[in-house]
Amino acid sequence: MVSADYIKEVISAGLPCEYIQVNGDDGTHFDAVIISPAFSGRNRVQRHQLVYQALGDRMRAEIHALSMKTLSPEEWAQQQG
Protein backbone atom coordinates (compact mmCIF):
# COMPACT_ATOMS: atom_id res chain seq x y z
CA MET A 1 0.00 0.00 0.00
CA VAL A 2 1.28 3.47 -0.94
CA SER A 3 1.59 6.15 1.75
CA ALA A 4 1.31 9.93 1.50
CA ASP A 5 4.93 10.22 2.71
CA TYR A 6 6.09 7.89 -0.06
CA ILE A 7 4.36 10.00 -2.72
CA LYS A 8 5.86 13.15 -1.22
CA GLU A 9 9.36 11.63 -1.39
CA VAL A 10 8.94 10.49 -5.00
CA ILE A 11 7.63 13.87 -6.18
CA SER A 12 10.37 15.72 -4.29
CA ALA A 13 13.04 13.49 -5.85
CA GLY A 14 11.82 14.21 -9.38
CA LEU A 15 10.74 17.84 -9.11
CA PRO A 16 12.31 20.78 -7.26
CA CYS A 17 9.77 21.73 -4.58
CA GLU A 18 9.79 24.64 -2.17
CA TYR A 19 6.83 23.12 -0.34
CA ILE A 20 4.89 19.90 -0.68
CA GLN A 21 2.10 18.41 1.37
CA VAL A 22 0.40 15.12 0.52
CA ASN A 23 -2.64 13.79 2.37
CA GLY A 24 -4.50 10.54 2.04
CA ASP A 25 -5.13 7.61 4.31
CA ASP A 26 -6.74 4.91 2.20
CA GLY A 27 -3.63 4.03 0.16
CA THR A 28 -5.11 4.91 -3.24
CA HIS A 29 -6.64 8.42 -3.12
CA PHE A 30 -4.46 11.43 -2.32
CA ASP A 31 -4.53 15.23 -2.23
CA ALA A 32 -1.38 17.29 -2.76
CA VAL A 33 -0.29 20.91 -2.55
CA ILE A 34 2.93 21.38 -4.50
CA ILE A 35 4.90 24.62 -4.75
CA SER A 36 7.67 24.51 -7.34
CA PRO A 37 9.67 27.06 -9.32
CA ALA A 38 9.29 24.65 -12.26
CA PHE A 39 5.62 25.71 -12.43
CA SER A 40 6.39 29.36 -13.22
CA GLY A 41 5.04 30.31 -16.63
CA ARG A 42 3.22 27.00 -17.11
CA ASN A 43 -0.49 26.31 -17.25
CA ARG A 44 -2.28 23.83 -14.98
CA VAL A 45 -2.08 20.93 -17.44
CA GLN A 46 1.66 21.41 -17.94
CA ARG A 47 2.18 21.56 -14.16
CA HIS A 48 0.27 18.33 -13.64
CA GLN A 49 2.28 16.70 -16.42
CA LEU A 50 5.48 17.58 -14.54
CA VAL A 51 4.14 15.90 -11.40
CA TYR A 52 3.01 12.83 -13.36
CA GLN A 53 6.47 12.66 -14.94
CA ALA A 54 8.05 12.71 -11.46
CA LEU A 55 5.72 9.88 -10.37
CA GLY A 56 6.37 7.82 -13.50
CA ASP A 57 4.60 4.47 -13.71
CA ARG A 58 3.49 4.72 -10.08
CA MET A 59 0.58 6.88 -11.23
CA ARG A 60 -0.86 3.98 -13.22
CA ALA A 61 0.22 1.08 -11.04
CA GLU A 62 0.06 2.24 -7.43
CA ILE A 63 -1.94 5.47 -7.19
CA HIS A 64 -5.60 5.45 -8.14
CA ALA A 65 -6.29 9.19 -7.75
CA LEU A 66 -4.20 12.27 -7.02
CA SER A 67 -5.86 15.65 -6.68
CA MET A 68 -3.29 18.44 -7.00
CA LYS A 69 -3.02 22.12 -6.26
CA THR A 70 0.11 23.26 -8.13
CA LEU A 71 1.48 26.76 -7.63
CA SER A 72 4.62 28.69 -8.43
CA PRO A 73 6.42 30.28 -5.45
CA GLU A 74 5.11 33.69 -6.55
CA GLU A 75 1.50 32.47 -6.65
CA TRP A 76 1.93 30.81 -3.25
CA ALA A 77 3.31 34.04 -1.75
CA GLN A 78 0.31 35.99 -3.11
CA GLN A 79 -2.15 33.50 -1.63
CA GLN A 80 -0.44 33.62 1.76
CA GLY A 81 -1.01 37.37 1.93
- Assign 36 to helix, strand or coil: coil
pTM of this structure:
0.92
Sorted by where each starts, the structural domains of the chain and their CATH numbers stand as 4-80 (3.30.300.90)
Distance between CA atoms of 19 and 65, rounded to whole angstroms?
Answer: 21
- Assign 7 to helix, strand or coil: helix
CB 30 within 8 A of CB 23: yes
15-73 pLDDT, tens digit per residue, is 999 999 999 978 888 999 999 999 999 999 999 999 999 999 888 888 889 999 999 99
